[in-house]
A and B are shown apart, each in its own frame.
Chain A
């Protein structure tokens, strides 16, 4: 069957023109495709089943009767919901990011992707954005769900309080308005959205850290453990700064290591404002813009570092 020579083969065959002339070096469309594929992959892993658990949790929290004041009842819903959102998004950011690249490698899907004209940076960015998209959508859905529950609880609590106050001559109209306003301050508001945004930003940084670790790591388990350790250390930033930098405690080597760790590991505590927000503290738009900027800087740094490792990794 074999032909005489390659020259003859070329003569006998018709050349078919390629369908794409010259793809760009960096393409947002390819990043989008990788992101969408990662999103679909994670969604089809039945990630959103967590939403059902979340709904049950919020409903349970809204029916928790511990002799709470009206404001406390709403606060418990806010705190439980934001807490559950935080836990979901952190766990998801670590585990999903940790398994994605090793899984692609194990299934040899990575070969087929990187053998297409896909720069490795695009692959990493696409994967990371896919994880962030799932976290974003899940948080948006959870936020919507708990906003509805919170709204109904707020309305019913205010109505019940107003009814009781109206029956007591001690309370004036002004008292009733003040009470209603105080309860309403713990209903759904823009601050709550900012709280959810802070949870998202923290998870995004965590996912970027997990991605960097996974470019080094030899297994998903290693990535999960190391990222979790980094996550914990990232919460001791303020304590570490006070100890090593402000108070100058420890020997110089310890101080040096401490300072390096403070500079290398992200300060996760800085994103922990959802706690205060669920307790009714108010946050400004400017602060949120600044926080988003910081998160973007972290994402950029860790993505570049990941690319640096991944760019000449051999498979």
Chain B
């Protein structure tokens, strides 16, 4: 027994000396990995409480991805049961476990601003005013969720794009939508169409008509695809009217609606008598 204790002590001493040798190396590597976004901080106390012991252990053991897949499945079930509180909590866990997973931020937010908000609006057991209040609350929650995603992934274009969409479709706040699209387009790997979306939103943002006109006109003058797109032409035409732009400075294009009508007429002339295109 004494021999065992002696051996045990000596082994601990050996490992202790080894630990002292490796400690600075480990600290350096830890710093490098954290800086490169390869190591995440351990889950905080509140998150550990929400996840439960086994999921916490799995997450600590380097199985964050698996835990997050499990939570996604769990949230999927909750979504089908329209259990929005669970969906919200699950996505909070998923994004805390994998804060750099942009898609999870977007999907979590989508559940809130699109699904939950639409679902409470349909809940006829609630008075209409309360339904509208709750709808707005879920949209706002979705926005907050996306903003958190943006803070965690400052270089990602998609959360900004999604935010622009929510402001446009759910809040009808075109000024905020324009800014969100502008931010999205400024980031790497942003979709090319976002450059035009900024203009469309500005065109609907009160007091920014001139800015919108200059912006879209600059795009139009650039040529390429912008000149051919009906949305660009329609927006410019509306702004020309609104801002009372001199005729000489207006774009020469025919309004796409007129073009469409003319094309329909031509086709009708070719048809046998009496047949009209609806």
Contact = CB atoms under 8 A, between A and B. Distances in A.
Interface string B29-50: 1101100111111100000000
Contacts of B65: 78-80, 82-83, 274-275, 278-279
Contacts of B148: none
B155 interface: no
Contacts of A171: 191-193
Contact of B193 (A79, A172, A271): A172
Contacts of A269: 39, 42, 60, 62
Contacts of A239: 42
Nearest to B98: A279
A272 B62 contact: yes
B36 A283 contact: yes
B25 A175 contact: no
Contact of A86 (B18, B63, B72): B63
Interface stretch (A34-42, A100-108, A140-148, A304-312): A304-312
B73 to A, nearest CB: 7
Nearest to A202: B62
Interface in B4-53: 4, 7-8, 10-12, 14-16, 18-23, 25-26, 29-30, 32-33, 36-42
A176 to B, nearest CB: 10
Interface in B37-83: 37-42, 57, 60-66, 68-69, 72-73, 76
A213 to B, nearest CB: 10
B231 to A, nearest CB: 9
A226 interface: no
A275 B40 contact: yes
A78 B103 CA distance: 15
Contacts of A283: 36, 38
A72 interface: yes
A54 interface: no
B40 A276 contact: yes
Contacts of B193: 170-172, 175
Given A66-B76, A238-B30, A267-B26, A273 B15 contact: no
A272 B42 CA distance: 11
B7 to A, nearest CB: 6
A80 to B, nearest CB: 6
Contacts of B8: 216
Contacts of A9: none
A308 B11 contact: yes
B100 interface: yes
A242 to B, nearest CB: 9
A194 to B, nearest CB: 10
Nearest to B65: A79
B66 A83 contact: yes
B268 to A, nearest CB: 25
B69 A80 contact: yes
A277 B100 CA distance: 11
Given A172-B192, A181-B189, A202-B62, A72 B103 contact: yes
A294 interface: yes
Contact of B38 (A83, A232, A238, A277): A277
A169 B226 CA distance: 12
Contact of A309 (B7, B76, B101): B7
Nearest to B61: A235
A191 to B, nearest CB: 10
Contact of B62 (A86, A181, A212): A86
Interface in A16-51: none
B15 A263 contact: yes
A188 B8 CA distance: 46
Nearest to A239: B42
Contacts of A86: 61-63
Contact of A291 (B29, B192, B225): B29
22 contacts: A66-B76, A72-B103, A72-B107, A79-B65, A80-B69, A83-B69, A169-B229, A172-B192, A178-B189, A181-B189, A238-B42, A263-B19, A263-B23, A268-B61, A270-B33, A270-B39, A275-B62, A275-B98, A278-B65, A297-B21, A297-B22, A308-B7
Given A79-B68, A297-B25, 15 more contacts: A75-B103, A87-B63, A181-B189, A216-B7, A268-B61, A270-B29, A271-B62, A275-B64, A275-B65, A276-B38, A276-B100, A279-B100, A279-B101, A301-B15, A305-B11
Q: Please provide the 5 A-B residue pairs with the shortest distance between their CB atoms, ordered closest to farther.
A: A263-B19, A79-B65, A272-B62, A83-B66, A301-B18
Interface of A: 61, 66-69, 71-72, 75-76, 78-80, 82-83, 86-87, 90, 169-172, 174-175, 178-179, 181-182, 202, 212, 216, 231-232, 235-236, 238-239, 260, 262-264, 267-284, 287, 290-291, 293-294, 297-298, 301-302, 304-305, 308-309
